[in-house]
Amino acid sequence: MVYLWLRAETKAMEHRAALTPSTCKTLLDRGFKITVERSPERIFDDEEYAKVGCHMVPIGEWRKAPKEAYIVGLKELPEGETDPLHHTHIFFAHCFKNQGGWTEILSRFDEGQGTILDLEFLNDAQGRRVAAFGYHAGFAGAAIGVDDWCHQKLNPGQVLPPYTPFPNEAKLINHIKERLDRAVALNNGDIPEVMVMGALGRCGKGACDFARAVGIPEEKIIKWDMAETKAGGPFPRILQAEIFVNCIYLNQPIPPFFTPAMLDGDRKLSIIVDVSCDTTNPHNPIPVYSINTTFDKAVVKVETKNPLPLEVCSIDHLPTLLPRESSEAFSRDLLPTIIDLEKREESNVWGGAEALFREKVQAMRSVR
């Protein structure tokens, strides 16, 4: 019997869940055992899990879970803790690409003889991720990009208000479409150009779909991918779009898309949405900011010699703007792989994830 323990997320304003009540019911019907930590932040009510048969426990009880339980979550573990970790955790660890703090988190698992099976690196035989939040990340990122452009026109010089989750895509689209119509009217009828980098991937498709949904015409959606960027940056064309949405998956060093000095010159660009959010990656191709923003402070100002405002959105959990829809889609895609835990030793997906963890532990040991 496979035992899953869904921990409560502790990241501020994280409302998604890796396992939804509907997914849990399917797994329980197969004979899985599931414990769910209560959470006031999760978009799904505790009662929804209890109703399908999950065992409910208080927040943070995963530390006392039986050794055989898989601890399932989404975002990082609570900050400030250094104790060894003994369980097998399934989550986005954000430590396999040398991000900030990568050696610390890996050493905790190494010391406790625990394991990370990273959701980001669950790949099928074709090397494609079995489940990802990419589409909704791009969708939500483009939404904030367009909304911030509107805010700059409607409320110049004022701070962008905090965001709270939307119940569904339609509510989000209608809210921003209304603001866009008013902002375009103030902009002499000129609709902003949205440039999407990595437009052919899941994330890029989400960004393009949002732009279309709020009425931005196709010729104003500039779609770049591998063919347009194969020569390497910098790319001055980015500066001529009002809104730039970066949706690439960074897995190797690349030249920057633009340099800080380029921003001092002529440009129309006023909002950068870094959906990829490789903030602490040493090869971040957008080297004009150094912090992650949050839903209560969604953008950070970039200082330039050009009087036109420029802001960056670098929220690293954008899909939580649409937590129910993004969770349902992700959990549904993840379900077949979770079922394969019944025969994990035969699964290439889980085997590949564990092998990568062992490889990264060896790399950590070599630098500590």
Residues 6+ apart with CB under 8 A from 286: 246, 256, 257, 258, 272, 274, 312
Q: What is the DSSP string of 236-299?
A: GGGGGSSEEEE-----S----SS-GGGGGSS----EEEESS--TT-TT-S-TT--S--BTTB--
The identity of residue 196, as a single letter, is V
Say which of 87, 94, 205, 220 is annotated catalytic. 94
Cα separation, 269 vs 354, whole angstroms = 42
C-alpha distance from residue 164 to each of 156, 161, 298, 322 (Å): 22, 10, 11, 9
Neighbours of 28 (CB within 10 A): 15
CA of residue 293 relative to chain centroid, distance: 12
Q: Tokens 């978009």 — which residue?
A: 43
| CB-based contact 192:220 (threshold 8 Å) | yes
Whether 94 sits among the annotated catalytic residues: the reply is yes
Order of strands across the sheet that contains 221-224: 221-224, 194-197, 243-246, 271-274, 311-313, 300-301
Which residues of the chain form beta strands (DSSP E)?
A: 3-6, 33-37, 55-57, 70-72, 88-91, 115-118, 194-197, 221-224, 243-246, 271-274, 300-301, 311-313
Tokens of 90: 């399934």
Q: What is the DSSP string of 177-189?
A: HHHHHHHHHHTTT
Say which of 75, 205, 317, 360 is annotated catalytic. 75
Active site residues: 75, 94
